[in-house]
Structure formats: structure tokens, C-alpha cells
Amino acid sequence: MKLILLGAPGAGKGTVAKLLSAIDGSVQISTGDILRGEVQAGSDLGRQAEEYMKKGDLVPDSLIMGIMEKRLQAPDCAKGFLLDGFPRTIPQARALKELMARLDITLDMVVNIDVSRDVLLDRLTTRRTCVNPACQAIYNIKSNPPQKDGICNKCGSPVVQRDDETAEAINHRLETYNQKTAPLIGFYQEDGMFHNITGATSDIVVNAIKSELGM
């Protein structure tokens, strides 16, 4: 399947992408995960992105499009992909449309995972993430804590609160989402492949997507 997953930070895009990926092998492409990997590796790209990310600002569109242009042409995308956290601005959505036309890729659907602000805030402040760039497993101290406190079940690396998941950065990220990313809903509604799914749980969202796709 070839999907764009839209939704505010904390809406569950990453969790839904992982569940969908397990169904048919479509790859999850999370620009946030890619950028965090670059920051940890200390690459040029990571150094350019780091300050924006810490503050909860968006990384410039040109850097993101450079990443995505390469990523969408990798062989593993042929099976399908789940775009998680991209596009995040109207210019990115326009550039993606042009890129897909050039690469002859057709999307199946754009899904907006719709979650209330209270739930988003609660999820983001209690979320913890594995620091290993190759893992980045997500936990929640209330609903899904690691078996050993602060240690990833999957790879044994430390599980921490992200720099951009302090109360201040979270508020800023939600503001940025409302200003820059929420307008994508209108953009894709006009395209006619848009589906809004109220995401009480990730399983509900996954089942709704499967039924829309006739799976």
C-alpha cells in the first residue's frame, strides 16, 4: 500500500505505520526517525536539522525534499510505503506530488488520524523513545512501559524522553502543526483521496484503513 499518514504529533502515525507495515511489508518512512538518526550520527544534515528539531520547529523544506527524493527511489519502496510525518507543509505536499508524477508513483490514500488535543498532550508527555537510531521503539510510561525501567525491550538501549517532548516544545510543535500542517487536510480533500479517521486506538485506525483499501 502507498499511503500518507497525516495527524498531529502524538496522533499515533508511527504506531499505525508499524502495524500496517507488518501486514504487507510496506516500509514505514518517518522523516522524524531519519532526522534523529542523522543528528545522532553527527552528519552534516543532522547538524543542520538539530536546532530546529530541539525547539519543535520544522526543518526547512529543501532539506526534507532532498531526503525524500532519495528515499522514495530506494528499492524497498517498490512494495509500498507509509509516509509518517511527511509531508508537513503545503510546499512539501506540492513537491511530493511533482516527485511522484516524475517517479510514476500513485498513492492509494491519504489518511488523517484525528485525535483530541487532550489525548495528544497526554500521549506526548508520557511517551518515551529508544535512543538507538536503528530501533527508535516507542513506549509509554502509563500504557506500555519497557519491561526493565528505562531499557528498550527490543535492543537493550536506553529509553528516554525526547528533547522535543518537554512541555514547552510540545506546545510549540502543536502550534506549528496547526499553522503549517493542518492546511494539508484541505489540500488533499481537493484531491479526492482523503479519509479522516477518528483515532481512539491504533487498532481502530488500522482496521478502518484496511476496510477502505478492501483488505
Residues that bind ligand AMP (CB under 6 A): 9, 31-32, 35, 52-53, 56-59, 64, 85-86, 88, 92, 164, 173
Question: Least separation, in Å, of the C-beta of 79 and ligand AMP?
Answer: 22
Give one word for 159, left, alpha or beta, with left for phi > 0 and alpha for psi -120 to 50.
beta
Question: Least separation, in Å, of the C-beta of 103 and ligand AMP?
Answer: 18
Among 36, 123, 128, 162, the active-site one is 162
Beta-bridge partners for 129: 138, 160
180: which DSSP letter? I
Among 36, 88, 123, 128, the active-site one is 88
Question: Least separation, in Å, of the C-beta of 49 and ligand AMP?
Answer: 7
13 is catalytic: yes
Q: Which residues contact 189 (CB under 8 A, 6 or more apart)?
A: none
47 is catalytic: no
71 is catalytic: no
Among 13, 36, 123, 128, the active-site one is 13
88 is catalytic: yes
What size, in residues, is the chain? 215
Residue closer to ligand AMP by CB (options 180, 210) is 180
Helix (H) or strand (E) holding 13: helix 13-24
Q: Which residues contact 151 (CB under 8 A, 6 or more apart)?
A: 157, 158, 159
Residue closer to ligand AMP by CB (options 161, 207) is 161
3-state secondary structure 14-54: HHHHHHHHHHHCCEEEEHHHHHHHHHHHCCHHHHHHHHHHH
Question: Least separation, in Å, of the C-beta of 215 and ligand AMP?
Answer: 26
Among 97, 123, 173, 210, the active-site one is 173
Catalytic residue positions, numbered? 13, 88, 127, 162, 173
